[in-house]
Structure 1
Amino acid sequence: MKIFAYNYREFDEAEYFQKFSKEYGVELGICTDAPTLENAHLAEGYEYVTIITSKIDRELMKKFHDIGVKMISTRTIGYDHVDIEAAKEFGIHVSNVSYSPECVADYTVMLMLMSVRKMKRIMQRGEINDFSLPGIQGRELPNLTVGVLGTGRIGQAVIRDLSGFGCKLYAYDKYENDAVKEHAQYADLDTIYRECDLITLHMPLTEDNFHLIGREAFGRMKDGVVIVNTARGGLIDTKALIEAIESGKVGAAGLDVIEDEFGMYYYDRKSDVLSKRDLYILRGFPNVIVTPHMAFYTDQAVSDMVKHSIESCILREEGKEDPWAVV
């Protein structure tokens, strides 16, 4: 079978694409750029396309349909960058991938520790030989109550890791999991907002939970609450977050994702003037850490993402059940 790979990265994905395409007998077409209306024609003759977090809107979906693409597999867990309704309209199947939850869980705990220990300011001071103490006194995780929103594979891994710190743990999910109950107590959002010193997000982004955390939610939280987001930027209303930081309602934030990040991350943009005003505001706060959607980025995860994307296409081609199928 033939698969066309957009966003093909020579420096990390190439070895896995070559390994697994050879292993599975796949003829691979590649393009290092994200898919656009201008380069969509490169996938002509390929019924299967694999992408990363590139915007696939209705117009681009129609273009792929017109050249005979039957399936788009995103090498990511989230798929909110793909117009699912357009995919259904044009009869194009969509799948995502899974990868080891440890990469994001590790990163989440790192952001938690950096946030509660005021590591951004400590490192900034250290760079200019300012070794003073005022303003950098931190807190200890065992003394904090933590709320985990979303208890899928990543949320479960975070809860497991945090249990070793001795935190009191609350969890929220539409679907409760018995493994989670060994370490955390399920609760409603109101309880979590009211009781938790730190809240971490591990949900997919859907229409139902867009801006789940906004002005009203912040208003119900403790003063000085710490917010960590390694899931999707749209779960938090950015402008409401900025207001909450400025008022002191949010004491610190560790953000690996933000709203409106498409087309920005994974490119060298250091000489560009970015129209991302909220990003500049967030990065300017001494108590906010913003990283460029890197929580997933480990050797194991990259291998899993490429392998599962290829396997998903193969399963669809063979008419077998695909565990990563979205539509």
Structure 2
Amino acid sequence: MKVSFFSVRDDEIDYIHQYAKKYDIEIDIHRDALTLDNVDLCQGSQAISIMTTKTDEAIIKKLSDYQVVYISTRTIGFDHIDLMACEKYGIHVGNVSYSLASVAEYTVMMILMALRNMKLIVERFASQDFSLNRIRGKELTHLTVGIIGTGKIGQEVIRYLSGFSCHIIAYDRYPQESLKDDVEYVDLETLWKRSDVISLHAPSMESTYHMINKDSIQKMKDGVVIINTARGSLIDTDDLIVGIENQKIGYAALDVVENESHLYYQEYKNEVINHHQLAILRSFPNVLLTPHTAFFTHQAVSDMVEYSIISAKATYEHQENPWLIL
């Protein structure tokens, strides 16, 4: 079989060649994202592998015309793919999993950096300001951390946090029985009220859209710390900005933001960036921003490429596919 890869970064190329050889498939590698203008590059391929670019019905119809039977996204999230159109045209869809440690370790790092005001410390040190003004931190061991979403990554974050002896509470629509000795499951209202730190690990869905908003922020503790390594759509960014400006929110550490897909993973040095909310967030001394890099480790990238190939081949050969969504 043949798989066409799109949105390929330099760091993925060696892995693509390595696993194509291992699993005996043909490949086409394209650095550009899949669009309606270049979808003809998929002709002759039975599957495609994409990243987070929008894949709408117009593209999916063309894929069907070219007899593509499988779309694999090299991400956990798949909300950028029109699943209804895929079902309409008979195209299967799958995501991937990858090293849980990548995002979980990054989350804990962001929690600690937020609690110790690390952005301000680093920026001051660079300008040889070694004063202590406004950089006194908090100790995680004395705080309550609220985890929203106890799927695989949320569970790994809980496992790491347990070593800090902090109190952990959690919310999930489907509580994990295996965690009930390690965390206290509570409803969302209770989590908002009791958490010193809130860490988001929920998927992007209609029910989670803007779950952090002016109403939920109002219920939180004064000075609450908000961590997001999940999806930007979980937070109403305008309401977050207001919460920071009125000092209700003490710190925000965000690896993801709303409307980032056109922006992150590109270089815009000395250019005007078309993202007003990001410009405001960057200006705050108590907001730590990173460009959706929590996943970005050697192991995770290797997993994403390998599992994309395995899942495409499994579906094409009518074998069990653990990443199959549709």
TM-score range, shorter chain: over 0.9
TM-score, L = length of structure 2:
0.98
Name the SS of the counterpart of 2:122 in structure 1. Answer: helix
- For 2:58, the equivalent position in structure 1 comes to 59
The CA distance in 2 between the partners of 1:63 and 1:257, in whole Å, is 31
Q: Deviations over 1:242-292 (max 9, x none)?
A: 011111111001000000011211111224322100011111100000100
State how far apart, in whole Å, the 1-side matches of 2:245 and 2:288 are: 15
Tell me, in whole angstroms, the C-alpha distance in 1 between the residues paired with 2:262 and 2:67.
26
Match of 1:18 in 2: 17
2:156 is paired with a residue whose SS is: helix
Which stretches in structure 1 are left out of the alignment for 5+ residues? Answer: none
2:41 is the counterpart of 1:42: yes
Q: How does 1:147-186 map to 2 (within 5 A)?
A: 147-186=146-185
Which stretch of structure 1 is more off in the superposition, 55-64 or 67-76? 55-64
Amino acid of the residue matched to residue 297 of structure 2?
A: T
Question: What is the Cα deviation at residue 7 of structure 1?
Answer: 1.1
Q: Give the superposition deviation at 1:83.
A: 1.7
In the alignment, which residue of structure 2 is the partner of 1:92?
A: 91
Counterpart amino acid of 1:18?
A: H
CA distance in 1, matches of 2:318, 2:227: 40
Matching of residue 291 in structure 1 with residue 290 in structure 2:
yes
Q: Are 1:209 and 2:208 an aligned pair?
A: yes
CA offset digits 1:207-236 (Å, max 9, x no partner)? 111111111111111111000000000011
Secondary structure in 2 matching 1:217:
helix
Tell me how far apart the structure 1 counterparts of residues 169 and 197 of structure 2 sit (CA, whole Å): 10
Structure 2 CA distance, aligned partners of 1:17 and 1:200? 33
- Does structure 1 residue 2 correspond to structure 2 residue 2? yes
Cα shift readout 1:278-318 (whole Å, capped 9, x = no counterpart): 01111110000010000000000001000100000011011
| Number of equivalent positions | 326
Structure 2 partner of 1:128: 127
Equivalents in 2 of 1:44, 1:97: separation in Å? 24
Distance 1:298 1:178 in 2: 30
TM-score when scaled to structure 1? 0.97
Match of 2:309 in 1: 310
- Do 2:69 and 2:316's aligned partners in 1 also have CA atoms closer than 8 Å? no
Do structure 1's residue 141 and structure 2's residue 140 form an aligned pair?
A: yes
Distance of 1:151 and 1:291 partners within structure 2: 23
Distance 2:142 2:214 in 1: 26
| The 10-residue stretch of structure 1 (180-189 or 194-203) with the greater mean CA deviation from structure 2 | 180-189
What letter is aligned with 1:5? F
Distance 2:103 2:298 in 1: 13
* Pair 1:242-2:241 in alignment: yes
CA separation in 1, counterparts of 2:239 and 2:60? 33
The answer as to 2:53 corresponding to 1:72 is: no
Superposition RMSD in Å: 1.0
Matched letter for residue 164 of structure 1: G
- Counterparts of 2:184 and 2:147 in 1: how far apart (Å)? 10
Q: 1:139 is paired with a residue of what secondary structure? A: coil
**Distance in 2 between residues matched to 1:26 and 1:130, nearest whole Å:** 56
1:59 Cα shift? 2.2
Per-residue CA distance 1:176-233 (angstroms, 9 max, x = gap): 1133223211111011001000000011101111111111111111111000000000
Helix, strand or coil at the partner of 1:13: helix
Query: Which residue of structure 2 aligns with residue 265 of structure 1?
Result: 264
AA partner of residue 299 (structure 1): H
CA positional deviation for 1:75? 0.3
Q: Is the 8 A contact 2:70 2:316 kept in 1?
A: no
Partner residue, 1:225: 224
Structure 2 letter corresponding to 1:121: L
Hey, what's the Cα distance between the residues in 2 that align with 1:191 and 1:167? 17
Q: Name stretches of at least 5 consecutive residues in structure 2 with no aligned partner.
A: none
Per-residue CA deviations over 1:37-84 (Å, capped at 9, x if unaligned) read 111111111120001111112222222222222211000011111122
Q: Which amino acid aligns with 2:272?
A: V
* Matched position secondary structure for 2:250: strand
